[in-house]
Amino acid sequence: MFITTLFFNDSLMHKIYVNMGKFNFVDVLPQIIFTIIICSIINAILKKLYMPQKNILEIKYEKNIDILNVKIVNIMKILNIKFKCFFLINIIFLVFAWYYLSCFCIIYINTQIYLFEVSLISFSFSLIIPFFIYLLPGIFRMNSLGQPEKCIYNISKIF
């Protein structure tokens, strides 16, 4: 909702005024697309920085117990720092987003429902799009099972 609010500018406010507050999907379609793209990029960055899979996989293949114990202690320290930073950044972002949204909704009282509708559509699309993104490689891989060539399988790896 915060990212969606950032795209509310004077021209969109004027379009809302001209349409007398009625929802016009064509006016907000670019806003919805940009919101989905920005949220996906932010999500990918946060996953890359703060998810512990890479750190945990370092432990998985270690055979020596002494080295394993040292790695576990080091990884626990790293994960502790990552989680503390993640929660601190999240709290700061949530407070800023709460303040920004509160100010926006107080100043533009008549656009609250419009903002909620646009945010709900953006959120709905961001939930539906991954089904198609992850379905496409599966379709190519299913088709590559019966094929002796690896061309279709390589296409599925690209997706």
pLDDT in tens, the chain (159 residues): 899 888 888 888 888 888 887 877 888 888 888 988 998 898 888 888 888 877 777 777 777 888 888 888 888 898 899 889 889 999 999 999 999 999 998 988 888 888 888 889 988 988 898 888 888 887 777 777 776 667 777 777 776
Q: How far is CA 76 from the centre of its chain?
A: 26
Q: Are the C-beta atoms of residues 108 and 13 closer than 8 Å to each other?
A: yes
- What is the per-residue DSSP string for 28-70? HHHHHHHHHHHHHHHHHHHHHHH--HHHHHHHHT---HHHHHH
Report how far residue 38's alpha carbon sits from residue 41's, in angstroms, rounded to the nearest whole number: 5
* 150 DSSP assignment: S
Sign of the CA dihedral with 128 first, then 134, 135, and 136 last: positive
Q: Where are the domains of the chain?
A: 2-129
Q: How far is CA 115 from CA 7, 53, 93, in A?
A: 10, 37, 20
According to the model, what pLDDT value does residue 101 have?
Answer: 92
Question: Closest by alpha carbon to 29, among 48, 15, 40?
Answer: 15
pTM of the model: 0.71
Residue 94 confidence (pLDDT): 93
User: What per-residue confidence (pLDDT) applies to 148?
Assistant: 65
CB–CB of 21/110 below 8 Å?
A: yes
Q: At which residue do the structure tokens 């998810």 appear?
A: 51
